[in-house]
Amino acid sequence: MRIRAALAAAALLAAGAPARAADMVCASTSSQGLVCLDSAGFKQFTRRGGQLPDDRIADLAVCGGTVFVAAGEAIVGFDGAAFTPPATVGRGLLERISCHEKGGLWAASQTAISHNDEAGWRHFDLAAAGAPRNARVRGIAAGPGGAMWATLGDGHVLHFDGKEWRLFRAGQGFRAKHAFGPIVVDRAGQVWLPFAKGLYTWKKEKWEQERGLAAANFISADLGNRLWLSSGARVAVVDDGRMREIPTDHNTRAVAADSSGAVWAATEFGLARYSGTAWESRQMHNSDLADNDLMLIAVLGRGAALPPPVAQAKGALAGRAEWSDGKPIAEADVQVCGVRAFDFGIGKGPCDDKPLAAKATTNAAGEFRFAGLAPGNYHFVIRPKGGKRWIRFATDPDRLKVAPGEAKNAGPIALDAKIRDAK
């Protein structure tokens, strides 16, 4: 199986083989596949392009010189030059993956956790491993020797030492119930688990609390065993027990460091890089990046240099606002912006202080048009005539996405007529 061959190659690189891994940064998008940056610039990889089994990526993992991509029911490997054929795990849709150069590849689906090494796939039903009924895997971390740690949505942690399973929960390893998510094993084999107040780590057969970013939604470990965490617009690094925060401008979904020490972040508003003094980012409006709404991050080698900013051709976004009974929402205030916007009731429009913001008013037929829009993933809010609160319209991300030079028609944007009738 090609994925086993790719994993074996990654192990050879980690062991000191002369082959050199690519220098590259990849990020998953909300629904448009994978975007990668190398010395040649930005590239996009999709199902239509033949590289991915699905455009909605569940997880990314890095081993040596290979980025593993879980999409749909299969995994592909990418070394910067070519993709392996999709390898179907065989347990339905994948939700999480993790790999270790000396421990193989792990994948989690809705009902099972599966392990791949030189012997092929081995499947473990979650229930048989001790997981509660209907438990879902939230995070997974591979360790050396075929070991694995997994967090479950109900505050449980599963551990496999290569032979036996062990379950931790409130009253059994933890004093209280937690909402666990991501988990990581560093290069020294130490496991790290974010929770609401910091970090847990497994030492001397018990869980101990360590300092860390509160309620982190992502964690990664770099080559120097520094931990990188993100929570909202906050990024932090934990180095030998000392934590330093590095604020960002936008909601950060994932963060990882390259071998040169530069830090990369997948954000709701493009790809960002921190070199030690300041963040620099690229978006659709100033680069060839195919999507701004980035979710996960994977870094190979020294990463890449951000290309010089280049303004892209502007486009337009039009549509029709209507009530669910088909009547137009006439003379309504509408706004769009490049990040999610919410009405906090403080007297200004939700998009007023957001990037790529634009305003318009619907006509008698409920129609609106935003001309001269920079390329980007847009979010739409509306305030019906006479209303006091703004309403956020949630939809497929591609529906409000404007490519360079594109005149996008979003079609009808419908709101529940009960909102109108409640006046």
**Could you tell me the CATH number of the domain that includes residue 395?**
2.60.40.10
The H or E element spanning position 27 is strand 24-29
Q: In what order do the strands lie in the sheet with 242-247?
A: 218-221, 227-231, 234-239, 242-247
Residue 310 lies in a domain: no
**Could you tell me the CATH number of the domain that includes residue 117?**
2.130.10.10
Q: Which of 215, 249, 226 is nearest to 339 (CA)?
A: 249
Query: 409 and 290, same structural domain?
Result: no
Question: Of 300, 330, 358, which residue sits at a domain end?
Answer: 300
pLDDT in tens, 208-222: 999 999 999 999 999
Beta pairing class for 148-152 and 157-160: antiparallel
Distance, in Å, from the CA atom of 56 to the CA atom of 79, rounded to the nearest integer, reads 20
Query: 400 and 288, same structural domain?
Result: no
Query: 381 and 333, same structural domain?
Result: yes
**C-alpha 358, offset from chain centre:** 27
Query: 352 and 295, same structural domain?
Result: no
Full domain range(s) for residue 75: 2-300
Residue 306 lies in a domain: no
Backbone angles phi, psi at 381, to 5 degrees: -130, 150
Scan for tokens 């392009």, then name that residue: 49
Scan for tokens 């956790």, then name that residue: 113
Distance, in Å, from the CA atom of 18 to the CA atom of 22, rounded to the nearest integer, reads 13
Query: 250 and 219, same structural domain?
Result: yes
Q: Which of 94, 89, 116, 121 is nearest to 105 (CA)?
A: 116
Query: 320 and 296, same structural domain?
Result: no
Question: Of 300, 331, 354, which residue sits at a domain end?
Answer: 300
Query: 152 and 224, same structural domain?
Result: yes
| pLDDT < 70: residue spans in the chain | 1-20, 344-347, 423
The HSE-up count of residue 208 (CA atoms within 13 Å, CB side) is 8
pLDDT the model gives residue 346: 59
Max intra-chain CA distance, the chain: 72
Q: DSSP letters along 184-209, please?
A: EE-TTS-EEEEETTEEEEEETTEEEE
| Under 8 Å between Cβ of 253 and 218 | yes
When divided into structural domains, the chain yields a total of 2
Query: 246 and 196, same structural domain?
Result: yes
Query: 284 and 359, same structural domain?
Result: no
Question: Of 273, 300, 327, which residue sits at a domain end?
Answer: 300
**C-alpha 167, offset from chain centre:** 27
Query: 329 and 249, same structural domain?
Result: no
Residue 386: is it exposed, middle or buried by C-beta count within 10 angstroms (0-12/13-18/19+)? exposed
The vertex-326 CA angle with 323 and 331, nearest 5°, equals 55
| Under 8 Å between Cβ of 241 and 210 | yes
DSSP type of residue 285: G
Residue 305 lies in a domain: no
Query: 59 and 168, same structural domain?
Result: yes
Residue 408 lies in a domain: yes
Query: 188 and 113, same structural domain?
Result: yes
Beta pairing class for 407-415 and 315-323: parallel
**Strand segments (E) across 5-80:** 24-29, 34-38, 41-45, 57-63, 66-71, 74-78
pLDDT the model gives residue 423: 60
| Under 8 Å between Cβ of 382 and 393 | yes
Residue 309 lies in a domain: no
| Under 8 Å between Cβ of 145 and 102 | yes
pLDDT in tens, 129-140: 989 888 899 999
